Structure 1
Amino acid sequence: MRTRTTILIALTLALVTACATPPPPPPPEPPAPTGPVWPEEAFRAEQPDAGPQPSVTIPSVETFQLDNGISVYLVENHALPTVTMRLRMNVGGMYDPARKEGLNVIHMELLDQGPKGVSKVEYETRKADLGARINFAGGTHTSSLTISTLKRQLEPSLDLALEALLKPGLRKEDLARVKQRHLASLAQQLASPQNIGYRLYPALMYGGKHPYSKLATEKSLQAISLRDCKAYTRKITPAGAELFVVGDITAEELKAAWNPRVKGWRARGRQVKQIIPEAKPREGNIFFVDVPGAVQSQVMVGHPGPSRQDKDYVANMLMAQILGGSFSSRINMNLREKNGFAYGARAGFNYMRTTGYFSARSSVKADTTSKALREIAKEIKMMREAPPSSEELTREVRGHVLTMPAWFATSGGTLNTFSNLVFFGLPLNYFEGYQDKVMAVDAATVHAAAQDKLRESDFTVLIVGDAETVLPDLEKIAAEGLFGPSKAVVHLDPNGNPVKK
């Protein structure tokens, strides 16, 4: 009995002892995170120097005409078995009839739905089978057909593209689909301050009934009919047309491919020369479009400027780069890096065929809109008042020169470079010695360009944003005359129509 009692006591003591054992200590806390350790190599203290000036070989351009009068610009490049071609036709959106704005773009996209007797699905399948890219596009001055294909597929690709151009399907159901896509895109644009600004600003800059002031609206797009598109097709002629070709093809091969296929496509009447009036900005200095609740404002400040043909183009370009054309430019460093108003800001010259204009632009936080406007005005003023620093000029000169080889590195780049020269009426040898011209520009020349090409006053300013946040300070700026003599803010709707305050 005593033994059993002793055992029970021992077990009880053991159980109590086990229960009283303290829990294991908690795991140690992880060490506090340390910041990144940057290597202390000496080379990190200074920005690396730019590389040597690269040599650029400007491709030669052969010019001739097809039998039906199309002017051809050919750059032979036999490095790859591919051919890129762009047929640029002398009809564009600037000639869209009143209340049918958008007709050119709608019509050219309708051509891209396939030729007569070939559905859109079959058309895309045939392009895919050929491995070819075929694209129709409308523009302000011109319309284009671009073809990119392997050389061995050149003839069937050309057959398909010209069939779509000369024997278009122009189907009612395709038109409905194309219009619906453009209407949806327009609705999306009109919901964004940035898109409203970019869409509306040229119309304010050129003013009134200028061809560049035409805007496609929901009403004008809805009004476009299949009959309009069929009538527009008759305007697509080879009169004044230009064919740019880069790739693995000779002049004789090109003529053999094109001449038989377009021999029945002839110009009707004389070519109409495009006459572009000078810009006459809309009356007023500060324009405002209300987008209730917008957390950002689109800010645009500008005035009419030089054309692409201006004799001081290189100095103008470098000046604009220093002011707002690159990431390291003054306006971007001010609005983005110094003040944190915006993710980015830019400024520069916008060129049309024979005219141009200057604009500075950014999407800024709504509550910093007036501050951003004042900073942009300050940077433009400072650009006019003093020459750029040697560091700024060297950065932009070297950056521009070092990028030049890329302009001719691909077939598409070469085609775009030469087609732009022709568009602006510049000689095909324009870029011979161009690097030396850029390197020769000094700070005094850039300063002279700023004084000559940037205005002191009378700007066209567009602000798109939330009226409740933006308008009070905007009205103060207008009253001060910061951007011109007009003391009132002009209120517009997203299509540029006046709105009563």
Structure 2
Amino acid sequence: MTFHPRPQAGEPTPWAFPAPNRSTLPNGLTLLTCHRPGQQVVAVEVHLDAPLDAEPAGLDGVATIMARAFNEGTDNHSAEDFAAELERCGATMDAVADHPGVRVSLEVPVSRLPRALGLLADALRAPAFDGAEVGRLVRNRLDEIPHEQANPARRAAKQLSKELFPATARMSRPRQGTEETVAGIDAAAVRAFYDAHVRPATAVAVVVGDLEDVDLDKALAETLGAWTGSTAEPRPVPPVTADDTGRVVIVDRPGAVQTQLLIGRVGPDRHDRVWAAQVLGTYCLGGTLTSRLDRVLREEKGYTYGVRAFGQVLRSAPDGTGAAMLAISGSVDTPNTGPALDDLWTVLRTLAEGGLTDAERDVAVQNLVGVAPLKYETAAAVASTLADQVEQHLPDDFQAQLYARLAETGTVEATAAVVNAFPADRLVTVLVGDAAQIAEPVRALGIGEVTVVGG
């Protein structure tokens, strides 16, 4: 029997996170473009300098309602017509509001890019903000809030923000507003927020995909380039202050069979030189199924289906006033809440005393750096990361340099970074569960003063 020759692997080709081309349109809109051969679905991300701390007092959530209303009609299209036009383009459009600003996202087949850019430009240039549509969005948001309160993970996140940040800081309150603040939002409030903060001069558009056969300059000139608005300096970024005094807050859920854990503090953002080592060390601590936390709490003790450690940028600034949330999250069965926390703290103390191993460091580097080409196979993934860099005031080559730094970071450096990120005596612990069953075992651990609040 004759077999075909076995295929041989080719030589690996070097990979780096793609570098964008940066330019500015005549209307002041900053533009980042990135040609990705073969990516027939183009991704567009627009960052608007409309951060949550710019929301008027008593109107928390107005940025979210404005973002959602971009899809609800323009001066040229009713809400129904706008949705139909997007569907004819085979496009999807979404928008979210967060602490750094509002992000509008568009994905569309490259053959219909000019038409979809026209719809995106209309939404940004002349949104309708119809009273009936805004009212519906407000009611929808009000309906969401009770469901969020019933979700243990969401409830824990809200409580942690309330604990960490002063009450006067926007970060201490829910991103999408509360029942009281959202109920006061109307079309006039949305329009006023839009007029005050949305303009091309302070916006950035990212376009990623196979752009070889597209006259992108013409398409942009006729769409986003026709968007006009007043000039303005970017808003100053207020410093982030937080209180990470070690303590425990139990959000009481009588009868809960599980306890939701969220343990966190505020640490450095991506402008800090320690960021790469912190990413690597945090991944070793709780980034995957083979991490230390999972190995002990899941594999050895069977307390949980999984525990994760992560760092999430809240707001970033080159002058060091930004911050990231450093946290450990997961859930455990109620009777083992005390033992699980005890073992978790033991992991943190053991890490501080003995450090990471070279094997742990090597696996983390392989998982973070080695799979990066797969992570960025789509245009949307590349566009999202470039937009993250924009809103965090990072250089265009930050992600490429980060991978290089991760590969160069040693075990000792990663250990020091993760120990500093998660000091055992300076962590705010939020537990959503049955206080009657878990309060005393947690107090016995001595990891901080224990307070019980209503669920």
TM-score w.r.t. the length of structure 2 is 0.88
TM-superposition CA deviations, 1:151-172 (whole Å, max 9, x none): 3322221222222222222223
Q: Is 1:388 aligned to residue 333 of structure 2?
A: no
- CA drift of 1:455 comes to 1.8
Write the letter of the residue equivalent to 1:369.
Answer: T
**Which 10-residue stretch deviates more, 208-217 or 101-110?**
208-217
On the 8 A contact 1:316/1:453 being kept in 2, the answer is yes
Equivalent residue, structure 2, for 1:40: none
Sequence identity (%): 21
Output aligned runs, 1:21-170, within 5 Å: 55-116=14-75, 118-170=77-129
Sort the Cα spacing of 1:78 and 1:302 in 2 relative to 1 into closer, same or farther, 3 A. Answer: closer
Partner-residue secondary structure (3-state), 2:337: helix
**Which 10-residue stretch deviates more, 201-210 or 370-379?**
201-210
Q: How far apart in 1 are the matches of 2:122 and 2:200?
A: 15
On the 8 A contact 1:114/1:120 being kept in 2, the answer is yes
Q: Is 1:355 aligned to residue 316 of structure 2?
A: no
Q: Is 1:255 aligned to residue 217 of structure 2?
A: yes
Q: How far apart in 2 are the matches of 1:104 and 1:174?
A: 15
- CA drift of 1:424 comes to 2.7
Q: Is 1:472 aligned to residue 440 of structure 2?
A: yes
Sort the Cα spacing of 1:53 and 1:292 in 2 relative to 1 into closer, same or farther, 3 A. Answer: farther
Q: How far apart in 2 are the matches of 1:365 and 1:168?
A: 48
Write the letter of the residue equivalent to 1:99.
Answer: G
Equivalent residue, structure 2, for 1:452: 420
Q: Which runs of 5+ in 2 are unaligned?
A: 1-10, 317-321
Sort the Cα spacing of 1:284 and 1:448 in 2 relative to 1 into closer, same or farther, 3 A. Answer: closer
On the 8 A contact 2:277/2:409 being kept in 1, the answer is yes
**Which 10-residue stretch deviates more, 173-182 or 369-378?**
173-182
Equivalent residue, structure 2, for 1:229: 190
Equivalent residue, structure 2, for 1:374: 342
Equivalent residue, structure 2, for 1:325: 287
On the 8 A contact 1:318/1:396 being kept in 2, the answer is yes
Q: Is 1:437 aligned to residue 437 of structure 2?
A: no
Q: How far apart in 2 are the matches of 1:459 and 1:432?
A: 32
Q: CA RMSD in A?
A: 2.5
Q: How far apart in 1 are the matches of 2:399 and 2:124?
A: 34
- CA drift of 1:109 comes to 0.6
On the 8 A contact 2:101/2:391 being kept in 1, the answer is no
Write the letter of the residue equivalent to 1:254.
Answer: L
Q: Which runs of 5+ in 1 are unaligned?
A: 1-51, 495-501
Number of paired residues?
A: 437
Q: How far apart in 2 are the matches of 1:373 and 1:56?
A: 41
Q: Is 1:415 aligned to residue 383 of structure 2?
A: yes
Sort the Cα spacing of 1:270 and 1:166 in 2 relative to 1 into closer, same or farther, 3 A. Answer: closer
Q: Is 1:220 aligned to residue 181 of structure 2?
A: yes
**Which 10-residue stretch deviates more, 446-455 or 364-373?**
446-455
Sort the Cα spacing of 1:96 and 1:210 in 2 relative to 1 into closer, same or farther, 3 A. Answer: same
TM-superposition CA deviations, 1:134-156 (whole Å, max 9, x none): 22322221112222223332222
Equivalent residue, structure 1, for 2:7: none
TM-superposition CA deviations, 1:398-456 (whole Å, max 9, x none): 11121111243211111122222333333223344655533333222222223433324
Write the letter of the residue equivalent to 1:257.
Answer: A
Structure with higher Rg: it is 1
Sort the Cα spacing of 1:180 and 1:416 in 2 relative to 1 into closer, same or farther, 3 A. Answer: same
TM-superposition CA deviations, 1:168-226 (whole Å, max 9, x none): 22223222322222222211111122220123323322333223112221111111112
- CA drift of 1:474 comes to 2.8
Bigger relative contact order (CA 8 A; separation at least 6): 2
Equivalent residue, structure 2, for 1:334: 296
